[in-house]
């Protein structure tokens, strides 16, 4: 029961972040004349950090039962998908041609589930998800500052590397290696297979086999 309460509290935090806080940020900067696509992209990275990052770090300290965590992730995926389904996007962070926020929720749940069930170690899943939550957010913010649009650039990947290596070092050399590889593969997308899928899954595989 205690873990259900924790999950409900975290779900509430994420909903407040995406429905209230990031909307206020969007409205504030739109009034200041910022391009809407720029602030949408910033908001997506804020959600990466303050939803994905915070929840990922707290999970090993709050939960023992992986299926509660997995159900939490599925609930977030459905919460993210409904606006696309209804055609009423949360316009301050969602765009119709990019549903990758759903990918992140699903992969997050899968990686956390496998790390606990198979590897018996939350941290094997936590690090890959922090590479995505923190590392990808950093690279996106750097690219947005330089190019003022969503684009790929090795400057962003360098920023991601600088953020991910200290995180990876928590698990030693294999963590550092996975940080390097994650920072490279983030550069590439293949239609619906984006970095929200490739970065966590490939990093998780590396940490699992070494």
- Per residue in 64-105, pLDDT (tens digit) is 999 999 999 999 999 999 999 999 999 999 988 888 889 999
pLDDT of 51 > 90? The answer is: yes
User: Token pair of 178, please?
Assistant: 């996975």
What's the gap between Cα 12 and its chain centre? Answer: 17
Domain boundaries defined on the chain: 2-209
Tell me how far apart the alpha carbons of residues 190 and 150 are, in angstroms, rounded to a whole number.
16
Kindly state the average pLDDT of the residues 19-36.
Answer: 95
pLDDT tier for residue 11 given thresholds of 50, 70 and 90: very high
pLDDT of 136 > 90? The answer is: no
Tell me how far apart the alpha carbons of residues 185 and 62 are, in angstroms, rounded to a whole number.
31
pLDDT at residue number 154:
74
Tell me how far apart the alpha carbons of residues 28 and 147 are, in angstroms, rounded to a whole number.
21
pLDDT in tens, 139-187: 878 877 777 666 667 777 888 999 999 999 999 999 999 999 999 998 8
pLDDT in tens, 32-47: 998 898 899 889 989 9
pLDDT at residue number 6:
97
- Count CA within 13 A, CB hemisphere, residue 143: 22
Residue 134, helix vs strand vs coil: helix
User: Token pair of 58, please?
Assistant: 């707290």
Mean pLDDT value across the chain: 92
């Amino acid at each position: 029961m205690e873990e259900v309460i924790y999950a409900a509290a975290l779900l509430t935090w994420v909903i407040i972040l995406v429905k209230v806080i990031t909307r206020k940020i969007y409205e504030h900067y739109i009034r200041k004349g910022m391009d809407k696509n720029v602030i949408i992209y910033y908001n997506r990275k804020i959600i990466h950090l303050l939803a994905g990052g915070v929840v990922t770090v707290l999970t090993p300290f709050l939960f023992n039962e992986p299926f509660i965590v997995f159900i939490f992730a599925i609930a977030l995926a459905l919460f993210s998908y409904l606006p696309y389904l209804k055609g009423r996007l949360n316009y301050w962070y969602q765009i119709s041609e990019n549903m990758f926020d759903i990918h992140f929720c699903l992969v997050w749940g899968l990686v956390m589930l496998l790390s606990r069930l198979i590897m018996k170690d939350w941290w094997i899943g936590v690090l890959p998800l922090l590479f995505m939550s923190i590392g990808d957010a950093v690279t996106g913010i750097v690219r947005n500052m330089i190019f003022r649009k969503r684009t790929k650039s090795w400057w962003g990947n360098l920023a991601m590397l600088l953020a991910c290596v200290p995180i990876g070092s928590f698990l030693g050399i294999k963590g550092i290696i996975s940080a390097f590889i994650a920072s490279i593969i983030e550069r590439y997308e293949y239609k619906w297979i984006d970095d929200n899928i490739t970065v966590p899954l490939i990093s998780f595989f590396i940490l699992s086999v070494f």
